[in-house]
Structure 1
Amino acid sequence: MSAVSAPLLGEPLPIELANTAYAVRGEPREGLDTVEALADWLEANNDRLPWKLSPQDLAALGDFELTAARELRDAIRTVASAITDDDTDGAAPSGGAIETINHHARWAPQWQELQWEAEPAARVRSAAPPVTATFSYIAQAAIELFVRQRADLRACQGPGCVLFYLQDRPQRRWCSAACGNRARAARHYARHR
């Protein structure tokens, strides 16, 4: 596997997936342009999943999974945009974004099982194939995020940036320090022209 082209900011998985549609110097980029890019993204986030995707799971990815990942990503972006857009006054997102997220959430019912090794632990299980269960898990996490953390969801205010993040401190306005630095440099340049 090679390096992930899309930024990974340590945000919740639904936001990380949404951020695979990103921009470089204001130019839109597709972080899931190939099956290999999807495999790289899943591998980079493997430690954040309730189960581990094996090399065989990643090697078995195809166009169906790539299309499913993009559909889910685009639906999450649509809902996140509606939440962070001050002009919508809390109106529901247009189109089928909500249905797409719900569809993916229903793909793979999941449950917790108690396991006891050194001490008790809960493990999430699903009867679905691991990649299908992963998309379902991300869709369910998106629902949870939009219901419980929507007040903290933000669109980056960096020049040309299209990423989302959860605001973890009151003064945060950017998805990353790099975006903050670009914004400060742009303001400085504008003042001194």
Structure 2
Amino acid sequence: MTQRPVTELANTIRLGGDGGVLDELGTVGATGRWIRRQAGNVGGIGELVVDEEVRQAVLVVRGAARSLFARAVDPAPPSPVDAHRLMPAGEALAALNDASARELVAPQLRWPTEGPPSATLSSAEADPRVRLIAALARDAVDFLSGPQREHLRACHAPRCARYFVRSHGRQGWCTPACGNRARVARHYERAREAAANGSAPPAF
């Protein structure tokens, strides 16, 4: 399943093998590379020059999105990577709405002679910085107010801190690799418990 911009953004931080936090937006250069990879999903940002101001604005939207993702998966636990420092929900809502309002857009109807009508958003905004931040925020608003929110989950496999949209009812991890790691971790945990109790280790 193709990830939408808000889930791509939310998942730019993760846990490393040593338990530390890895951040794809940790520097201006890294943020620029991530934004260039999103150019196909976020229109009108081809001429964007990324600096620290842009990076900080993107981080605000990411922080707001992850805070509201944590609220969306409640009462299940949120991603462990930032559960201890989430933005308060009211602050996250305000930040997301403020970012979304940076760009004034209007729906435009398109109706080709062959095919059904469709609506697109039109804007006269020329600043690619404004377009980027507003587009990321609007995607978050659209996602969190839509039906996919009900399928949002936090992956709790070892060393994973991603959020994902569940594609089927039994999906418990973001990828098969995370599912394998979780099963291996459970097996070794049961083996340690069995050894401590003097019983036979469980079969894998």
TM-score of the two chains, using structure 1 as the length reference: 0.80
Residue 114 (structure 1) shift: 5.3
Residue 136 (structure 1) shift: 0.8
Counterpart code for 1:29: L
Determine what percentage of the aligned residue pairs are the same residue. Answer: 30
Distance verdict in 2 for CA 1:161–1:99, change over 3 Å:
same
Matches within 5 A, 1:132-143: 132-143=130-141
Matches within 5 A, 1:87-106: 94-106=89-101
Other structure's SS at 1:47 match? coil
Q: Which residue of 2 aligns with 1:46?
A: 39
Deviations 1:66-116 (A, max 9, x none): 11000110010011111112179xxxx535111000000100122344568
Counterpart code for 2:73: T
**RMSD, aligned CA:** 2.5
Contact 1:105 1:140 in 2 (8 A): yes
Other structure's SS at 1:22 match? strand
Stretches of structure 1 lacking an aligned partner (at least 5 in a row): 1-8
Aligned length: 177
Residue 184 (structure 1) shift: 1.7
Q: In terms of Rg, which structure is larger? A: 2
- Distance in 1, matches of 2:112 and 2:30, equals 36
Residue 18 (structure 1) shift: 1.0
Other structure's SS at 2:171 match? coil
Stretches of structure 2 lacking an aligned partner (at least 5 in a row): 78-87, 193-204
1:61 to 31, 50, 59: 50
Residue 46 (structure 1) shift: 1.4
- Distance in 2, matches of 1:41 and 1:94, equals 26
Residue 17 (structure 1) shift: 0.6
Contact 1:10 1:16 in 2 (8 A): no
Counterpart code for 1:15: T
Contact 1:84 1:154 in 2 (8 A): yes
TM-score of the two chains, using structure 2 as the length reference: 0.76
